[in-house]
Amino acid sequence: MASPARGNHVWVGSETGILKGINLQKKQATNYKFGDAGLSRHEAVTAMCWGDPYESEIYVGCLDGSVKLFSTEKGKFTESRDCREGEGPFCGLAMLDGSLITCVQSGLLKVWRDASSENVEIQVGPGVCRMRQNPEQTHRVATGGKENCLKVWDLQQPQEPIFKAKNVRNDWLDLRVPIWDRDMQFLPGSEKIVTCTGHNQVRLYDPSSPQRRPVLEATFSEYPLTALSLTPDANAVVVGSSRGDVAVIDLRQGRLVKRLKGFAGSVRAIQCHPALPLVASCGLDRFLRVHNLHHKRLEHKVYLKSRLNCLLLTSRERWEHEGLDSPAELQSDVKEETEDDEIWNSMEVVATKRKAETQPCSESGDKEPRNDKPWRKKKIRKAES
């Protein structure tokens, strides 16, 4: 019998070290913790990735340098390994031929083989904000960060990057434009890479072209962009900012297509469904939101009690037929409800009556307002006489 965790649609990592599984059809959220230790911000989840193409395993990277393996089939954590190399939190996790790929903020990218002598270590530069894997060419990854320009690495030949972006030209004051790549993603079917920066820019790079500068650039919001995700058709990208602004940017014309509303804090993670017009997002306002990209409608909104750092969205397509109770379960629920109704109906109803104030009535039977003041005045006058 499969675990109920298998039916979750979204997996979210929190700052308290909890992995949260959310079933959007049942509107249920379940917390999963490794071991019996209490909650600690030193174990905050900073990166996650699927362990296999069947989405039966999730690798969870924590702030203390450990990477935990969660089984969606068993509904529990099954393994924990120490990957404490370099400094800073994990900026990305990935899998390559059964081996784990980690990248930390200090710039150490490492492939963890079964034999420690076969491990691959690459220094990609300090201040890394994000590491992303090419889903079509899994041996290629992209890195970028603060004053650390976009680079594409081939893990089979890790000596030098196969692509290194060049900074844009100086601004109109002839001042150097600072570099701050916060997130990136490979476009399917090509070598193009889209990035978002901490200076509210969305840039598109094409390593196959002669130039190393971006071939397209667009600006959105006045605040740092923190996360992005490609839409299912790969013609647009959904970006989020540190203020809670989320929008869809067209990558063909570099213009704003639409805005998504309902956010109240910094967006930490965004992921679009690979086939359905849905996008999931989470952040510091402790809410998981799922929007419809066609209608801009907020489909689901779940409060998860703690600040959220990252998420994984399942690639299953038929959500409306999943997570529903079987007819036998529904009949048992109805039976329990009817039994409860019979018990409540058999109980004696206790009625409470309010005491009504007795007031003098006139000869016609109409009630008159009670007024004691004239009687008191007459009584006082008789006493004086």
Q: Is the dihedral of CA 366, 367, 373, 377 positive or negative?
A: positive
What do you get for the CA distance between the two ends of the chain, in Å? 100
384 CB neighbour count, 10 Å cutoff: 5
12 CB neighbour count, 10 Å cutoff: 27
Per-residue pLDDT tens digits of the chain, which is 385 residues long: 567 788 899 999 999 999 999 999 888 999 999 877 777 788 999 999 999 999 999 999 999 999 999 999 999 999 999 998 889 999 999 999 999 999 999 999 999 988 777 889 999 999 999 999 999 999 999 999 999 999 999 999 999 999 999 999 999 999 999 999 999 999 999 999 999 999 999 999 999 998 899 999 999 989 999 999 999 999 999 999 999 999 999 999 999 999 999 898 899 999 999 999 999 999 999 999 999 999 999 999 999 999 999 999 999 887 655 544 433 333 333 333 334 455 555 666 665 555 544 444 444 444 444 444 444 444 444 444 4
Bridge partners of residue 233, in order along the sequence: none
Q: What pLDDT score does 323 carry?
A: 46
DSSP class of 367: B
Q: What pLDDT score does 116 carry?
A: 77
Q: What pLDDT score does 322 carry?
A: 53
Q: Where are the beta strands (DSSP E) in 137-207?
A: 140-145, 148-154, 163-164, 181-186, 193-197, 201-205
For 259, the 3-state DSSP assignment is: strand
Q: What pLDDT score does 249 carry?
A: 96
Q: What pLDDT score does 168 carry?
A: 92
User: How far apart are alpha carbons 202 and 219 in whole angstroms?
Assistant: 6
Residues of 337-363 as b/e, b for ≥16 C-beta within 10 angstroms? eeeeeeeeeeeeeeeeeeeeeeeeeee
Alpha carbon of 315 to those of 208, 232, 377: distances in Å?
Answer: 30, 11, 88
On whether the CB atoms of residues 203 and 197 are closer than 8 A, the answer is yes
The alpha-helical segments, DSSP class H, found in the chain are 327-346, 373-384
User: How far apart are alpha carbons 289 and 138 in whole angstroms?
Assistant: 29
Degrees, nearest 5: CA angle 29-33-34: 155
Q: What pLDDT score does 378 carry?
A: 45
On whether the CB atoms of residues 181 and 195 are closer than 8 A, the answer is yes
